[in-house]
Structure 1
């Protein structure tokens, strides 16, 4: 069992792990070991697996279990591991969540079912989720309506925080979302239990989100050391230095955030950095062209020049 449990004090960078595949599309567990060590060497505060950008929806149940087990064994409780358990079927969600917690996960991440449509349906859905998981399973609510097409208001989120103490974190990645983040933080200042807020979207708006009260990031940018250092500098009161560093990487942050091809770009950068053996995205998925590779090479070169000039 994990000695670290996800709680409201979580902060820093919880990197969203890629899922390494071999060239034939099978799980690459040797690269998984290498990737986990790479993330830890960059100073991340936690690791999140089986997220949307981790291609969780493309894994069979036994593959999810094998990957999760390998990650937890490799991490060996050095940092907390959060497991994405979102699933169209609640029984499947509960099963993976309890498997993860029994194997040593620190908590689970749950996104709304796709297209719930109304606040009443969303609230009813999460009441089922929390009651089915039980109070012993810490939960991160993933608010990503761009994909789920299910939007939650601040009032409804606050109702869940009030009713379910196991809700300890918000993964905030709504577009636009800065005003929503401010409203969540205002509610905590006004007396609501404060939960951790980590932001996604590749870190695209990280400086502004930190200014609005975010505790860090939960995303998968291929240069996690930048995210780690930006959050560290910001917390030390060096906001200008944090933004200057962020700006140096911004061309790559933006490029990697493209819908559809972004994951292939992220995996290719990780491959070039020696973190994984291949940049394989499991089918159906994008494959980079020669032009894509040349474009990425030029962007990386420009980022390196930006860093040299700092």
Structure 2
């Protein structure tokens, strides 16, 4: 039985841990999931950009889904990301996710092809009509070169299972545009770590996080304090967190965040080719950021 997706709170975009011989490291994956649940996160997202989706085989995605469903055991929803070049393939992945127990989907626009507005709306709509699962549209024109505009969401609003938006435009005014246009029709989830507190204060319902993969407690503290109106306390943690959060907006975010998760004991550095693990001065520079932050880790404020 599917877990209801409320589209609020903190949803880690999960890393995919590998072994030294390039197999899925499911025990380490599950260790990270338990750390996330212990911190109080609200949902899991499998196979996103941070999960190295483009390098995963379909059966590996299913193995990760089954593992996450087992750990979650109905406590939080488990979402599968769909990132495909073709509509037919995207529909097939949606069917697989649904038949294997996923609670919801995150949809990226078509990969590689710079689809226009009509093509993008048709792509999203075609997938939504082929599944009963609730859907979050990933709006990230910065990385994927396709902007899902308010006018496009007016069309998508006709489909009841398109329920949420991962807001990664890097334009905070877009949150207000969406609220002005649609009220609460779409749940909004901030999707850029370095704008996360701002997005929450502008009215986002939740945070799809990256550094949460290494620092779940701190991520949850910021979310809970922001939602409780304890902005000064949230801001103090956020300012400490910012050098780490900036690791999320780099082309090597996977390697950087995996290094952070290794430092906190809930990840490993292994990545899948063509990515390579960090070496030399770059690795030392990122480690310095991580180690400096760990040395100054804040005492977390509780909500009152």
TM-score of the alignment, normalized to the shorter chain, above 0.5: yes
Match of 1:118?
A: 116
- Map of 1:188 onto structure 2: 182
After TM superposition, the structure 1 stretch with the greater mean CA deviation from structure 2, 291-300 or 83-92, is 291-300
Residue of structure 2 equivalent to 1:297:
287
Q: Structure 1 residues 270, 305: closer, same or farther in 2, change over 3 A?
A: closer
C-alpha distance in structure 2 between counterparts of 1:256 and 1:107, whole Å: 24
Q: Does 1:236 align with 2:236?
A: no
* 3-state SS of 1:53 partner: coil
Q: Cα deviation per residue 1:226-281 (whole Å; 9 max; x = unaligned)?
A: 2211110011111111111101111111134211x2211111111222213x3111
How far apart in 2 are the matches of 1:223 and 1:5? Answer: 25
Task: Name the residue aligned to 2:203.
Answer: 213
For residues 1-310 of structure 1, the aligned pairs below 5 Å read 1-2=1-2, 4-6=3-5, 9-114=6-111, 115-133=113-131, 136-161=132-157, 163-175=158-170, 177-189=171-183, 194-201=185-192, 203-221=193-211, 222-259=214-251, 261-276=252-267, 278-308=268-298
Unaligned runs of 5+ in 1: none
On the 8 A contact 2:105/2:133 being kept in 1, the answer is: yes
The 1-side partners of 2:68 and 2:247 are apart by: 28
Q: 1:117 and 1:33 mapped to 2: Cα distance?
A: 37
Secondary structure of residue in 1 paired with 2:129: helix
Of stretches 119-128 and 207-216 in structure 1, the one that deviates more from structure 2 is 119-128
Deviation at 1:154, TM superposition (A): 1.1
Structural RMSD (CA): 1.9
2: CA distance between counterparts of 1:33 and 1:306?
A: 28
Distance 1:301 1:148, change over 3 A: closer
Aligned partners of 1:16 and 1:218 also within 8 Å: yes
How far 1:306 moved relative to its partner? Answer: 4.2
Note closer, same or farther for the CA distance 1:164–1:309 as it changes in structure 2 (3 Å cut): closer
Asked which structure has the greater RCO (Cα within 8 Å, sep 6+), the reply is 1
State the alpha-carbon separation in 2 of the partners of residues 304 and 269 from structure 1: 10
* Separation (CA, whole Å) in 1 of partners of 2:297 and 2:281: 25
> Shift of residue 54 of structure 1?
0.4
> Contact 1:72–1:103 at 8 Å: present in 2 too?
no
Are the equivalent residues in 2 in contact too, given 1:196–1:215 (CA < 8 A)? yes
The superposition leaves residues 60-83 of structure 1 with CA deviations (integer Å, 9 ceiling, x where unpaired) of: 122222222122122211111111
Q: TM-score, length-normalised on structure 2?
A: 0.91
TM-score (normalizing by structure 1): 0.89
Closer, same or farther: CA 178–69 of 1 in aligned 2, 3 Å: same
Give the aligned length: 297
SS in 2 for 1:78: coil
Instruction: Mark the runs of 5 or more structure 2 residues left unpaired by the alignment.
Output: none
* Compared CA separation, residues 264 and 228, structure 1 to 2 (3 A): same
